[in-house]
Structure 1
Amino acid sequence: MTGRKWSKEEIEILKKYYPTASRELLMKMLPGRSWNAIQLKAGRLGLRRVAGNRCNLGPTPELAYIVGVLMGDGSVYVDKKGSYRIELQVRSEEFAKAFAQALKAIGLKPRVWGPYKPYTGKKPRYEVVAHSKEFVEWYRSLTIEKLEKLLEDDKLFISFLRGFYESDGSLCWKSKYKILAIYNNNLRLLEFIKRRLEALGFRKVRIYHNKGKTYMLTIQYNKEEILRLLTLMKPVIKNEVVDYKRLFAKSRPRDEKGRFIPLRQNSCGAKLLE
């Protein structure tokens, strides 16, 4: 008795993810297929599992978070000894641990050092290091177009944005001046983030050229949108506002999907649209 015919989409998933993805992820991406059936079909297609320290390059929140971090403070490179390295050096122990945990989740074996002082008079730092030729080559091939495809799901985009914000973001929360900003030299990347945030209902997203050196994506002077974004991302650092969960709970109403109901500005102030 023959089983259910494999679709073109399932075969594409096999070709792309079978060599590196974990067994659990493959079975999740191919519902209704047993592990034996997956192995049998992969064998007929001539696919083989990559031996050694495999990493899961499937679309997961952890991978999206890692990419966000690396596009900010992190780095990938090949050292003089030919070792493929994934690194992050930061001052925050919480940030370092969060990055290391995400690396573990995709199958890598990171090491965390610290705190240590790189130079006299400098603040202590933490360093996270992992090794993977497979990951480094994959990351180096990641274009904006591929990134957009990887982050099609809103949850994956938010995970990416959390990592990017923890790396390159800042938060100023004063009585008369509230601004959430992300600084980066890649204008196309910031434009992509701006489009996705606007699609999620954020109306106050702007991009500025910061003193001719770098670009700055901001949400400013809008407490509700800043609090909403912080609540979505749940960053482990750069989240110091006064009880923002309580304040956010008192913000203006949302619709059935959890999105803010648009406001109309007039001379009497903001009013709900009818």
Structure 2
Amino acid sequence: MALWTEEELCILKKYYSTPERKKVYELIPNRSIGSIRRMASSLGLSDKRRNYIKRDFDREYFKKINTSEKAYWLGFIYADGYVESSLLGFRLKDKDLEHLNKFSRAIKFSGEAKIEEYQYKDSVYKLSRLTLCGKGFVESLNNWGVIQNKTLVIKFPKIQTELIAHFIRGYFDGDGSIGIYKDRGYNKVLFSIVSGNEDFINKIKEYFEEKGIGRLKVRKIHNAYELRCQSLNSIVSILDIIYKDSDDSIRLTRKYAIYSQFKQINK
């Protein structure tokens, strides 16, 4: 039997422990009753329907992108989120659990992200995982460009100019990196953002160039495009722009700590 899809798991979690359990069998007709029961048990779903707890959240959160917080999380979802039908999901490193819970708090989710283990060959891995189900919620994201299998076709969203830096910071926290590395015995710095879409990455490059930042390059790496900079002055200027007017609720703490180190080096 094929692996369970995220949409099937979402249906299972939504209805199995409720008085509407029959919807599980209607919406997942290709799974046997035994298979459904085994998966429900592995997920810790109660067989007692009266124990059902409905998880709620702000389903209209992304209807309008009119705050720095919403712009940030839209950018983060562009990078690290995925949608399938009426589902939004994240699978991140276990160390990013708290960051997912920042998002949970932003949308007033009554649950929280969880650490889940999975086995691949002889190794066991841990992931931070968050799954949200809501047709209207996902449709709002679709309208902003978050679609299924978005990696190669994403387009830069049309949002207010003053919110673009927050959007880029969100994307950077998902698909960007900064750090110091060794090259022929010397310490070198690197800022990098990656996307599967060339036009998208060039829009980010153009945004920074309009702010007077130079020494930016775009190069193709396999099936992706990388915006990179190796000038400390330019990197600090980029980070100054994207971190301006941010706080810990809308930035990845560990990357912000590296930015603070770069600021000290550049004094």
TM-score of the two chains, using structure 1 as the length reference:
0.59
Q: CA deviation at 1:218?
A: 0.9
1:69 aligned to which of 59, 76, 84: 76
CA RMSD across the alignment:
3.0
Q: Cα distance 1:242–1:204, how it changes in 2: closer, same or farther (>3 A)? A: same
Map 1:115-194 onto structure 2 (within 5 A): 116-119=117-120, 120-143=122-145, 147-153=156-162, 156-174=163-181, 175-194=186-205
Cα–Cα, structure 1 residues 100 and 115, in superposed 2: closer, same or farther, change >3 Å?
A: same
> CA separation of 1:189/1:110 partners in 2, compared to 1, >3 Å: closer, same or farther?
farther
TM superposition shift of 1:197: 1.3
Amino acid across the alignment from 1:196: Y
Shift in CA distance, 216/110, structure 1 to aligned 2, threshold 3 Å: farther
Aligned to 1:236: 253
Instruction: Tell me by how many angstroms 1:112 deviates.
Output: 0.5
Deviation at 1:98, TM superposition (A): 2.6
Q: Which runs of 5+ in 2 are unaligned?
A: 1-56, 146-152, 244-250
How far apart in 2 are the matches of 1:118 and 1:139?
Answer: 31
Amino acid at match of 1:139: L
Query: Structure 1 or 2: larger helix share?
Result: 2
Judged with a 3 Å threshold, the aligned counterparts in structure 2 of structure 1 residues 189 and 103 are, in CA distance, closer, same or farther, namely farther
Residue 237 of structure 1 aligns to a residue in which SS? helix
Alpha-carbon spacing, 1:109–1:85, altered in 2? closer, same or farther (3 Å): farther
Structure 1 pair 114–91 and aligned structure 2 pair: CA distance change class (3 A): same
Contact 1:111 1:128 in 2 (8 A): yes
Q: In the alignment, does 2:102 pair up with 1:114? A: no
Q: 1:89–1:127: 8 Å Cα contact kept in structure 2?
A: yes
Please say which of residues 54-63 and 64-73 is displaced more in the overlay. Answer: 54-63
Distance 1:67 1:240, change over 3 A: same
**Aligned pairs, number:** 189
CA contact (8 A) 1:108 1:132 kept: no
Deviation at 1:100, TM superposition (A): 3.1
User: 2 CA distance for matches of 1:99 and 1:177?
Assistant: 31
Q: CA deviation at 1:146?
A: 8.4
In 2: Cα distance, 1:209 partner to 1:85 partner: 31
Q: 1:206 aligns with which of 214, 217, 234?
A: 217
- Structure 2 residue matching 1:201: 3-state secondary structure: coil
Taking only the aligned residue pairs, the percentage that are identical comes to: 21
Contact 1:114–1:127 under 8 Å retained in 2: yes
Query: Which structure's CA Rg is the greater one?
Result: 1
Partner of 1:263: none
Is the Cα–Cα contact under 8 Å of residues 60 and 140 in structure 2 kept in the other structure? no
Partner of 2:232: 223
> Match of 2:25?
none
User: Which runs of structure 2 are paired with 1:11-160 in the superposition (5 Å)?
Assistant: 53-57=58-62, 58=64, 59-78=66-85, 84-93=86-95, 95-109=96-110, 111-114=112-115, 116-119=117-120, 120-143=122-145, 147-153=156-162, 156-160=163-167
Q: CA deviation at 1:191?
A: 1.3
Distance 1:118 1:203, change over 3 A: farther
Higher RCO (CA-CA < 8 Å; seq separation 6+): 2
Assess if the C-alpha contact under 8 Å between 1:96 and 1:128 holds in 2. Answer: no
TM-aligned CA deviation for residue 184 of structure 1: 1.3
Q: Deviations over 1:45-104 (max 9, x none)?
A: xxxxxxx854333321222122212221211222xxxxx2221111153x4423432343
User: 1:48 is matched with which residue?
Assistant: none
CA contact (8 A) 2:100 2:113 kept: no
CA apart distance, 1:147? 4.8
CA contact (8 A) 2:76 2:171 kept: yes
CA distance in 1, matches of 2:229, 2:212: 12
